[in-house]
Amino acid sequence: MATVTPPIQAPGKGILLYMTGIFCMATMDLLAKTLAQEVHVSQAIWARYAGQTVIVALWFLPNLRTVAKTRYPGMQFARSMSLLLGTSMFFTSLTFLGLAEATAIMDINPVFITLGAALFLGERFGPRRAFGVIAALIGALIIIRPGSEVFSPFAFLPMIAACGYATFILLTRKVGHDEDPRTSLLYAALLGAVVTSVIVPFFWVPPSPKAMLLMVAIGGFGALGQLFLIQAVRFAEASAIAPFSYVGLLIAAFWGAVVFGEFPDLATWIGGAIIVASGIYIWHRERVTA
């Protein structure tokens, strides 16, 4: 029987890694939205996984046989499919919603992560974490404003994506104690690449040189983002880092304004400020506890 290595508890480091990973993923979303204006969205999804697979395989080539060995084939498969579901739904939503709006709806995922961690991973769910998650949810609801035009049928796509992403984070936490993070990174890319490679030929549009460059960049940022996220949950509990998903909302608002001219309104800034404040509060409490 394999020996399970206890998780390293360094909440501050885990949160910093998580925020860096979120930045990479938010930038990848920007590139995907840009790419989807030229080709079918399935090509953006395929580029995310195929590009990451090539980069990871070349990176780990000297030790690829060792890296490919996993103790949890079933959970690695479930991780990859959960992430693929989340990516597919979110990339598709970007063709119908603004970058900030889709990200705001996606930011419901911290609630799913924290509750799932308490139910399935046995992590404690104290009043401070509950306060942070509830505050983050209130901030997201202020941005979404139920009943407004953001709540179109397409708004359910990032909600489904949030479920997929939360499941991915929880399963990553589960295998992260004694699984090589390189192995998790490889399988998250490889299985997604196999599935999308079967689907994408039916929707393929010949890409321009610009589109090809975007596809490569999507794979690169996806690989970096995944590596940081996998490392993050090795140092901090999933429910502790969950509220810091707000970083993606702020980055999305910035990219949306700069690249697409989508300027967030006052409600978006108020909701974002609440989410930021809740995350900083929990980070402070985690550092004090550690």
**Please, what sign has the CA dihedral across residues 265, 268, 273, 274?**
positive
pLDDT, residue 9, reads 67
pLDDT digits (tens, 9 = 90+) for 91-100: 999 998 888 8
Length reported for the chain = 290
pTM: 0.79
pLDDT, residue 2, reads 41
Please give the average pLDDT of every successive group of 10 residues along the chain, which has 290 residues. 50 86 92 92 93 85 87 90 94 90 80 78 75 80 72 80 90 79 85 93 92 92 83 77 76 89 80 76 63
pLDDT, residue 151, reads 65
End-to-end CA distance of the chain: 31
User: What are the distances in angstroms from CA 178 to CA 3, 72, 142, 164, 185?
Assistant: 8, 10, 40, 23, 14
For 176, phi then psi, to 5°, come to -70, -15
pLDDT, residue 286, reads 58
pLDDT digits (tens, 9 = 90+) for 122-181: 777 778 777 877 887 887 778 777 766 656 678 788 889 989 988 998 888 888 667 787
Q: What is the CA radius of gyration of the chain?
A: 18
pLDDT, residue 290, reads 55
3-state secondary structure of 260: helix
pLDDT, residue 61, reads 87
